Structures are given as C-alpha cells and as structure tokens.
C-alpha cells in the first residue's frame, strides 16, 4: 500500500512537471494529471487472461489527456511495461486499455471487439458505463470519481483489483 502511494506521488509529481509547459487552468491540469495516473494504475490493477508483459494504453479521438500520456511510456507497472499509442483510427488489437475521446461513440461493434480481445474500455463521456463501457471518469462535487460496469468488465474476461473496485461506483 505504501509503495503504491509513493509511486502515485512520484507519478503525479512527474505529471505536474510535464503539465507546467501547458498554459491551461491549474484545476483542469490536475484533473487530467489524475486521470493519467489512474490509467497507469489500471495497467497495474487489471488482470488479463493471458498476462501480457506489455500493457499498451491507446488513446483514440479528441481528449486533453492525450497531452499527458507520453509520460507513461516505458514505465513499469508491476511486472509489465507500459506502452502508449495515440491516433484517430487505431486497431483495437494493438491495445490492452483503450481510452475513447469525448466525441468517440461506443458502438456495439467496438464493444464486442473489446470483449473478444480483452481490452479495457475507458472514457469520460456521460453515461459511458451505463451504455456498456467498462470504466467511466466522472466529476461529482469537484471530485474525480470512477463508475465501473462490472458486467462489461467480466464479459471481456478481465478482473479488476478489489483496491480499484472499492474506489468506484459499481454498475452490474
């Protein structure tokens, strides 16, 4: 637990340094820094059926988090190396975690591909988890919250750590 907190603190400090190059509002920067830190922890706290040595975090579509993701490249998440891919038309086969931008729609075809390929789908779009997405970032009372659709996660053959589940609102 202590090592996880220390790593989160160090990652947040690194993200803070990376964000200082951006002229955005500090509150907005912190929101995206925190979302980026969560993405890193999803790589640590998710169990895939085939135990990959590399976890590729993909970002598809328009989202300010894209500016912060490069800091995760090459980091060690337990015994896995984190790799980051960004683009507008990524092949889902390349991804273990797919972050969809605000304007990206969660289609049935994408959801089925993610389930069959064991890809964790994440977005901050409204009702993402309720519509079948796996993890949704949401702001409530100026705090970042997670909403997890546990049924979708299980259908993809993924297991999330109890540490992660305790922090989230669970939909089943």
Reduced to 3 states (helix: H, G, I; strand: E, B; else coil), residue 19 is helix
Domain span at residue 155? 2-171
Domain count of the chain? 1
> Which pLDDT value is given to residue 95?
97
pLDDT in tens for each of the 172 residues of the chain? 444 434 544 444 444 444 444 444 556 689 999 999 999 999 999 999 998 899 999 999 888 899 999 999 999 998 899 999 998 888 999 999 999 987 678 899 999 999 999 999 999 999 999 999 999 999 989 899 999 999 999 999 999 999 999 999 999 8
Residue 83 is inside which H or E element, if any?
A: strand 80-87
Burial class (CB in 10 A: 0-12, 13-18, 19+), 15: buried
Give the number of other Cβ atoms within 10 Å of residue 34's Cβ: 18
CB 32 within 8 A of CB 64: yes
* Structure tokens belonging to residue 81: 């190396």
The whole-number pLDDT of residue 156 equals 97
The enclosing domain of 11 has a CATH number of: 3.40.50
The pLDDT value recorded for residue 29 is: 86
């Amino acid at each position: 637990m202590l090592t996880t907190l220390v790593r989160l603190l160090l990652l947040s400090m690194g993200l803070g340094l990376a964000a200082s190059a951006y002229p955005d509002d500090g509150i907005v920067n912190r929101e995206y820094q925190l979302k980026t830190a969560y993405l890193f922890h999803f790589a640590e706290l998710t169990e895939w059926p085939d135990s990959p040595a590399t976890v590729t975090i993909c970002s598809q579509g328009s989202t300010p988090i894209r500016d912060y993701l490069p800091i995760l490249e090459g980091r060690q998440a337990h015994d896995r190396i984190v790799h980051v891919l960004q683009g507008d038309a990524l092949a889902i086969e390349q991804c273990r975690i797919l972050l969809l931008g605000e304007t990206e729609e969660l289609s049935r075809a994408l959801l089925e591909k993610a389930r069959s390929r064991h890809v964790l789908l994440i977005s901050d779009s409204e009702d993402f988890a309720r519509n079948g997405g796996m993890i949704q970032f949401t702001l409530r009372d100026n705090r970042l919250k997670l909403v997890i659709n546990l049924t979708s996660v299980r259908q993809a053959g993924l297991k999330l750590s109890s540490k992660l589940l305790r922090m989230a609102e669970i939909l089943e």
